[in-house]
Chain A
C-alpha cells in the first residue's frame, strides 16, 4: 500500500513537472519586466464544464447559505471577537507555515513563525491576540505546500474548482492534502475538528462579506474573473 502510494506520488510529481505551465518562467520575467505589459498568467482548464458547475454551486452556496449565516453570526459577535477567533485558528496552523518556510529555504521567515507562535501562544493568550505583530512588528508568512511545490518548479497542472473550498489547481490540491496532515486539527476527534473547521469557515466568511460580491459585480464573466484572480494571486504568493 505504502509503495503504491509512493509510486503514485512519483508519477504525479513527474506529470506536474512536465506541465510546469508557464507559471515559473513567467515569474522570472515578471520580476524584471513587471513594468509595462504584465505577461498573462494562464492556467489549463480541461475540466471547465465541471468547474463551471462547481462555480455555480459555490456561488449559490455563498449567497443562499454562507452569507446569511455569516451575517447573522457577525450580528451576534462583534468584529474584534471574530478577529480574535481568526487569530486563534491561524495560530494553530503554525506547523503548516513553519514546515513550508523550511521547505522553501526561508529560514528567517521560519524563525519569525517560530517566534510568532511562541509570543502569541503565551503573551497573546493561546493566539487570540496577535501581539507579535502589534508589539514586535513580526509578520507572518502565509506559506503553504502548494507554494513549496511551486518553489521546486511544479506548475499548477490544471484548474480545479472544489465544492465549498473553491478555486484550486492540481498542484494546490496536493498541497492542501499535505497541509492537512500538518494541521493539528486533523489529529483530534473528527466530529470536533469538523465543527471547528465549519466554525472557522463561517468566521472567516464573516470577515470577508462583500469581497466576493465585488468580484461578481465587476465581472462580465465571473467564472473567468475568479479563475484569473486565483492564478494571479497565487503567483504573487509564490513570488514572495
Chain B
C-alpha cells in the first residue's frame, strides 16, 4: 500500500512538472533567452581586455540557447535540404552557424542598453510569433519578431524578423540564387571561404 502511494505520488509529481513545462510560453522562451544574452553582456567579469574570447564563448552559448541553428539552416536551404545526406546536413549546419555567429555576435556586442519591449505573442498550433520592439538611443523603434516552433515541451526560435525582413528568407533567396548560378557545392565553397576570412 505504501509503495503504491509512493508510486502514485511520483506519477502525480511528474504530471505536475510536465504541466509546468507545457505552460512555458513562447514569450517566456524569448525573454529568458534575451535576458541571458544581456546578462552576459553586462557581466563585469567578462568585460575588459583579455576577456574577449571568454565573453564571445559565453555569448555564443547564450545565443545557442535561443536559436536553433539546425532548423534555421534547414529552412534557409528549403528544397535543397532534402537532397543532402546526413553528413552534408551536419556540415552545412556548422557552416551556417559560423556565418551567423561571425556576423551577429558583433552586432549583439554593440548593445548599448537598448530597451526591449515585449509586445505579445500569437499562437497557432505548433507555431508562434513573439513581437518585440527595440528602442535605440537614436529615438528609433525597431520591430523585431521571433518565430518559434514547439519542440517537446518547450519552444525554439527558428527565425528572426527585423523590420519586416526575415533572416531565414533573406538567406533562402541568396542560397537559391547561388545554387542556381553554380551548385550546392559552390554554395558550400563560398560559405567556407567566408567563414575562414573570419
A: residues with CB less than 8 A from B are: 34-38, 40-42, 79, 83, 87, 130, 133, 207, 210, 214, 217-221, 224-225, 227-229, 232-233, 235-237, 239
Q: CB of B115 within 8 A of chain A?
A: no
Task: Name the one of B106, B165, B174 contacting A232, with C-beta atoms under 8 angstroms.
Answer: B165
Known pairs A210-B110, A224-B174, A225-B174 / 8 extra A-B pairs, C-beta < 8 Å: A35-B125, A35-B129, A79-B137, A214-B107, A218-B104, A220-B194, A228-B169, A233-B165
- Chain B residues with Cβ under 8 A from A42's Cβ? 173
- Chain A residues with Cβ under 8 A from B29's Cβ? none
Q: CB of B99 within 8 A of chain A?
A: yes
Cα–Cα, bound, A36→B125 (Å)? 10
Q: CB of B124 within 8 A of chain A?
A: yes
- Chain A residues with Cβ under 8 A from B36's Cβ? none
B: residues with CB less than 8 A from A are: 75, 99-100, 102-104, 106-107, 110, 124-125, 127-129, 137-140, 147, 159, 163-166, 168-175, 177-178, 187, 190-191, 194
Shortest Cβ gap from A51 to chain B (Å): 13
- Chain A residues with Cβ under 8 A from B139's Cβ? 83, 87, 130, 133
Cα–Cα, bound, A144→B21 (Å)? 46
- Chain B residues with Cβ under 8 A from A37's Cβ? 75
Q: Are A38 and B174 in contact (CB under 8 A)?
A: no
Q: Are B129 and A232 in contact (CB under 8 A)?
A: no
Cα–Cα, bound, A225→B190 (Å)? 15
Shortest Cβ gap from A217 to chain B (Å): 5
Task: Name the one of B124, B125, B174 contacting A220, with C-beta atoms under 8 angstroms.
Answer: B174
